[in-house]
Amino acid sequence: MKTPKKLIKRLSAVLMAGIMFAGAAAVRAEGVPSVSASSALLLDAGSGRVIFEKDADTERPMASTTKIMTALIAVERCDLKETVTVPEKAVGVEGSSVYLYRDEKLTVEELVLAMMLESANDAATAIAIGIAGSVGDFAVLMNRRAEELGLSRTSFENPHGLDGENHYTTARDLAVLTAFAMKNETFRRIVSTYRSVIPMKDGEGSRLLVNHNRLLKSYDGAIGVKTGFTKKSGRCLVTAAERNGVMLIAVTLNDPDDWLDHRKMLDYGFSMIERVPLTGENGVAGTVSVTGGLSETVGYHSDGAVSADLVKGAHSLRTVIEMPHFLYAPVRAGEAVGRAVFYDGDTEIASCELYADGDVEMKETKKTFFERIKDILGY
């Protein structure tokens, strides 16, 4: 079956708009967690929907959660196997450290692991200098990336998160950054790693790295991402957890009881998830035109009903059918002829293939006078 690329169309049908699920408001009012954080936010990473927030737009220092941006830039810009020679300025940096040696050689991946598991400020500094030549120039890259991601209330001075006058973010910006970073498979793999070993002094010894995020081992579905603390910032924590394909991002800034608060926030978030039908029980069905066939149309169908796990509340659901204006015969039963894509607002939440209901054979065309003459003469 041939399909003309220029004739592809997108047929959009609004299934539901502004539907308020019964009891959703009551569930929110009764179950909202009380947290001790100065700022907090819980985000559904897939839809971008905020489930819970507390003073989420106040600018605050964020300590080592800064390293989420440092790691993102590193995995976006670098070959992870590339070797970095530790510069003198990375040795003995204040705060958490893996005690790097001057001129020691490690890969980008080993440094990112040290930074994200052990919160090593020396590793963050080595990454920054290796990429940009200096901490200051790397901060320029960080702020440029923040602007690209729409983080309008975030400013970076350094790659590690030590306090600075112009070093701050908000719970909302940090959640948005993390949701984006978790789409990067390399970033996601590293921040979900609990234990790793990297070399010391070019192989003379080894360093055991253990992730500071205790929720990785104690909370069902936890997959990252970063702890942080300075006297100025207080305890800061960003956690990602995933269940049944739904990823939640929890952020707290200046939270003396962050481990408990993250459990409460995530428990609340997952309790707010419900299975929403996107089609009727028979799925998606329709017809499409066929050219050059014994039949002028053929039916199509999805392989059963489609649903998605969504946060309770108002949804603007729509289905877009991606299919050619017409199909060329022959068409075979079960052949994939298009796709249905389901959206909540502008966010894609599900999709499925569409298949032809039956065969459509090619129509025999009458031969022209000259073709019949050629047949007679044997040409």
Minimal CA–CA distance to 169: which of 276, 57, 270? 57
The catalytic site residues sit at 64, 67, 119
Q: Tell me if 226 is assigned to a ligand binding site.
A: yes
Minimal CA–CA distance to 284: which of 314, 323, 324, 245? 323
Q: Which residues are annotated as a binding site?
A: 226
Q: Which residues are annotated as a binding site for substrate?
A: 226
